Amino acid sequence: MVQEQDWTQVVAAATRAPSIHNTQPWRFVAGPDRLELHLDPDRSLPVLDPTGRQQVISCGIAVEFAVVALAARGLATEVDPVPDPADPGHLATVRITGSVDAPADDRALAAAIERRHTVRAPFEPRTVPDDLVERLQAEAAGYGAWVKPIAGEDEEIATVLLTSRAEEIEQGDPDYLAELERWLRTDPAAVDGVPTDAVPSGDPHERASNWLVRDFVAGQRDPHRFRVAGDPAAPPPEVERPAVVLMGTHGDDRVAWVLAGRAVGRVLLRITAAGLAASPLTQALDWPATRVRMRAQLSLVGHPQMLLRLGYPRQPGEGEPAPPVSGRRPVQDVLSFEPTG
Ligand SMILES: Cc1cc2nc3c(=O)[nH]c(=O)nc-3n(C[C@H](O)[C@H](O)[C@H](O)COP(=O)(O)O)c2cc1C
């Protein structure tokens, strides 16, 4: 049996999960031996994510962070998907099934929850070890998800071009820009949304990388003609050699999206524990046209759910500020308790 105070700490860990535009589209209901996760429809992104796919993935990541936090406390769990047509917002229930001696690995993953942040700045010019990528593949497979490194020139060019094409569509869509603007925050104490300090202020096209990070402040910049990032046919420049991995699932419904999110959550904690960081690059997956083309051009079996740029983050130099941390809503705003008695 988990006490209310402990649930508060577990849900605080769960809400450290990354979410699309930091919308934190979740609501938790705790009972003595179970935690339900519900999608919060008031925080939806109707332009970017009309099916809710990316928000359900975000919730799946929160489920995994809760599972890891519980495991580190010595609590074994099972996660039930809840495909209830009468209540499609009820995404998952985490059930406590017993107690275990928390292995060091669970504790290391739980410790990574607080340290993990999306890092959009260029990474160090250091190669991501193959054995780490193999481990991510094996762990994701435990959730029925796959991890495909974008390797070789053809795959890289195809993915870069689709990402650039999607970013171009987005920058030309006033509704997309208005929605993005609604989730941008200049107040460092904001409890949700993307802090402007956490996104590159310069034009992403000017970065010495052919991977185009999402341009969060495009709407505030002087209009410019859209250019594809870097020269897609040229080898990646020295300054940034991220590993880019595509994650996907065989199915493409809410149950698959929750599982994809759980796999993403595990991958993010695993790489954080290994001293790496990530930033999602999901523009090409935002739009059905580019998402479908990615399936075809990369000959994917299944559905792409998340594109992640992985690498070793640069440590701030002396006198340089640490990268800003994005806010979270207080736990009491997202957690309620089942009535007892
Ligand atoms: C499904 C999903 C898609 C995302 N897509 C992008 C993206 O395309 N570009 C980006 O810079 N960040 C992306 N993010 C990262 C969020 O903006 C980030 O998680 C959020 O602002 C909270 O910040 P944090 O991860 O540092 O805690 C995505 C996150 C999720 C879960």
Domain ranges of the chain: 4-116+332-337, 145-311
Token reading at 187: 């107040």
**Residue 232 pLDDT > 90, yes or no?**
no
**Residue 23 pLDDT > 60, yes or no?**
yes
Q: Is residue 20 in contact with ligand 1, taking CB distance under 6 Å? A: yes
| Amino acid code (one letter) for 187 | D
The protein residue whose alpha carbon is closest to atom 13 in ligand 1 is 280
**Calpha distance 238→208 (Å, rounded):** 8
| Domain 4-116+332-337 belongs in CATH node 3.40.50.2300 | no
**Calpha distance 69→301 (Å, rounded):** 33
Cα 19 to ligand 1 centroid, rounded to whole Å: 6
CA distance to 55, 220, 289, per residue, from 41 (Å): 10, 28, 25
- Coil, helix or strand for 182? helix
Give the pLDDT band (50/70/90) at residue 332: very high
Give pLDDT tens digits for 5-19.
999 999 999 999 999
Cα 78 to ligand 1 centroid, rounded to whole Å: 27
* Nearest Cα to Cα of residue 77 among 109, 107, 34: 34
The protein residue whose alpha carbon is closest to atom 28 in ligand 1 is 20
Q: Is residue 194 in contact with ligand 1, taking CB distance under 6 Å? A: yes
Q: Within 10 Å of residue 85's Cβ, how many Cβ atoms? A: 5
* Nearest Cα to Cα of residue 14 among 64, 58, 54, 53: 64
Cα 338 to ligand 1 centroid, rounded to whole Å: 31
Q: Which CATH superfamily is domain 145-311 in?
A: NADH Oxidase (3.40.109.10)
Q: Is residue 117 in contact with ligand 1, taking CB distance under 6 Å? A: yes
Cα 1 to ligand 1 centroid, rounded to whole Å: 34
Confidence at residue 235, expressed as pLDDT on a 0 to 100 scale = 57
Q: Is residue 22 in contact with ligand 1, taking CB distance under 6 Å? A: yes
- Coil, helix or strand for 71? helix
Instruction: Tell me the pTM.
Output: 0.94
Whether 4-116+332-337 and 145-311 share one fold: the answer is yes
DSSP code at position 207: S
**Mean pLDDT of the chain, nearest integer:** 91
Give pLDDT tens digits for 46-79.
999 999 999 999 999 999 999 999 999 999 999 9
Positive or negative, the Cα torsion across 253, 254, 255, 261? Answer: positive
Q: Is residue 23 in contact with ligand 1, taking CB distance under 6 Å? A: no
Which residues 6+ apart lie within 8 Å of 283 measured at CB? 163, 166, 167, 170, 212, 214, 290
